[in-house]
Amino acid sequence: MLRCFTFTLIVLTKYSAFCTEGPGLVPPDLVVDPVPPDLVVGTRADDPVPPDLVVEPVPPDLVVGTRADGAVPSESAGCGCQSLKRDSVLDPLGGRTSSSVSPDVKYSRMMNEMPSNPRDEDEDTTSKMVLIPGGETLMGTDEPGIPPDGEGPQRPVVLDPFLMDTQEVSNLQFQAFVAATGYVTEAEQYGDSFVFEGILSEEVKSQISQAVAAAPWWLPVKGASWKSPEGQGSDVTERLQHPVLHVSWKDAEAYCSWAGKRLPHGGRVGHALQGRLKDRLFPWGNKLTPKDQHYANLWQGDFPTHNSAEDGYAQTSPVMSFPANGYGLYDMVGNAWEWTSDWWTVYHTTDRQRNPTGPSSGSERVKKGGSYMCHKSYCYRYRCAARSQNTPDSSASNLGFRCAGAVDPGVI
Ligand SMILES: [Ca+2]
Ligand SMILES: [Ca+2]
């Protein structure tokens, strides 16, 4: 209780500071207490956390724990979704439209201030945020589950406090953004997007003659987009609370800019998803299903042919359907993969860095957290240290995002 009270004071103090720093910041009613009472670290009887592994708002040291579940199958090479590069599958389409105006400007809050802006009428159109404490922490792991992904080495970083959306951006929220701005996603411009064949009807599959060579369960589906996730004839009417999918990196940046936020850097996602724990496999500890309870929407069964949906969902779940981590963040692993702002590299310095932002350039962007398609036998990427990548124009039926925000403008 003392920790919660102290932290609440920190939230209020920090917020009081940043809310005076001008436009483009996060409205005060969107910042919430970061730790739900039933999720305070140390109260989970099924996965008790040793006191020396609990990370205080400002970690006092870099002591790391010992993992209890380090076994990794050698075949956990990939679900194939990192292979979803448009030009590797499809011939280039004519008439691609690419705005010369930066989405940061074109879809900024200032550019879209209008009386009918639905965000003024419905606060659900953008997520609440929590303050993630800064301090000295560790990034990556020395026990990589998938070494080629550049999960290691473990390295010290110092982070300033930042804000993070509690949830993945939902279809409802993205719909409000589109209604307010007229934004057209890249998938809509290209005319297609990648869909996992397991969720397509036989009728739709019969019309497709191409697949991703390295991962043939991924099919390019004409008309697939955020509002038609399985192509023509599908819609999100019954899935408004599910994470938005089929959004490219630029689409995600455009939404975040509109909401007065931005995509988070990979290092901050890695810090936030640990939820006050330290060097654990998952945001909730080292056991995947403590007391046989599911803490994330993943794949149970045999990938890609049999999904038992033991966790209750064969596809995406409504956001916040599974327990939050110790910071009050939902679905940080599982449900939808989430874009980060970092360019991809598998080479990292072990020098201590402050607020690392990744490489200054690249050809692919980092994504974190895994999705409802992840299974240990094939895509063991729902671990805290796991990461993967896609080209920025990629979009797929398991890839979404959430936004971050700055406590101190210019830091994030
Ligand atoms: Ca599932
Ligand atoms: Ca997620």
For residues 169 and 125, what is the distance between their CA atoms, to the nearest angstrom? 9
Distance from Cα 222 to the centre of ligand 1, integer Å: 26
pLDDT of residue 265: 96
Distance from Cα 22 to the centre of ligand 2, integer Å: 31
Distance from Cα 335 to the centre of ligand 2, integer Å: 5
Distance from Cα 348 to the centre of ligand 1, integer Å: 33
Quick one: three-class SS letters along the chain? CHHHHHHHHHHHHHHHHHCCCCCCCCCHHHECCCCCHHHCCCCCCCCCCCHHHCCCCCCCCCCCCCCCCCCCCCCCCCCCHHHCCHHHHCCCCCCCCCCCCCHHHHCCCHHHCCCCCHHHCCHHHCCCEEEECCEEEEECCCCCCCHHHCCCCCEEEEECCEEEECCCCEHHHHHHHHHHHCCCCHHHHHCEEEEEHHHCCHHHHHCCCCCECCECCEEEEECCECCECCCCCCCCHHHCCCECCCCCHHHHHHHHHHCCCECCCHHHHHHHCCCCCCCCCECCECCCCHHHCCCCCCCCEECCCEECCCCCCCCCCCCCCCCCCCCCCCCCCCCCEEEEEEECCCCCCCCCEECCCCCCCCCCEEEECCCCCCCCCCCCCCCCCCCEEECCCCCECCEECCCEEECCCCCC
Q: Using an 8 Å Cβ cutoff, are 309 and 300 in contact? A: yes
Identify the burial level of 202 via C-beta atoms within 10 angstroms of its C-beta, where 0-12 means exposed, 13-18 middle and 19 or more buried: exposed
Say how many CA atoms lie within 13 Å of 341 toward its Cβ. 21
For residues 255 and 126, what is the distance between their CA atoms, to the nearest angstrom? 9
pLDDT tens track for 351-382? 999 999 999 999 999 999 999 999 999 899 99
> What is the number of the ligand closest to the CA of 166?
2
pLDDT tens track for 273-332? 999 998 999 999 999 999 999 999 999 999 999 999 999 999 999 999 999 999 999 999
- What are φ and ψ of residue 223, in 5° steps? 85, -5
Distance from Cα 332 to the centre of ligand 2, integer Å: 5
pLDDT tens track for 374-403? 999 989 999 999 999 999 999 999 999 999
Within a 10 A sphere around the Cβ of 324, how many other Cβ atoms?
A: 23
Distance from Cα 367 to the centre of ligand 1, integer Å: 19
Residue 21 has which token pair?
Answer: 């720093």
Output Rg (C-alpha) for the chain, integer angstroms: 20
> What is the number of the ligand closest to the CA of 370?
2
Q: What is the pLDDT along the chain (412 residues), one digit of tens a residue?
A: 333 333 333 333 333 332 222 333 444 455 554 444 333 333 233 343 333 333 333 232 222 222 233 333 334 456 778 778 877 554 332 333 334 445 554 455 544 443 333 334 445 788 999 999 999 999 999 999 999 999 999 999 999 999 999 999 999 999 999 999 999 999 999 999 999 999 998 888 888 988 888 888 999 999 999 999 999 999 999 999 999 999 999 999 999 999 999 999 999 999 999 999 989 999 999 999 999 999 999 999 999 999 999 999 999 999 999 999 999 999 999 999 999 999 999 999 999 999 999 999 999 999 999 999 999 998 999 999 999 999 999 999 999 999 999 887 655 4
Query: Please, which residues have CB less than 5 A from ligand 2, an ion?
Result: 331, 335-336, 369
Residue 247 has which token pair?
Answer: 């959004």
Distance from Cα 6 to the centre of ligand 2, integer Å: 29
Query: Please, which residues have CB less than 5 A from ligand 1, an ion?
Result: 297, 311, 313, 372
pLDDT of residue 104: 53
Neighbouring residues of 266: CB distance < 8 A, sequence distance ≥ 6: 340, 341, 342, 358, 366, 368, 387
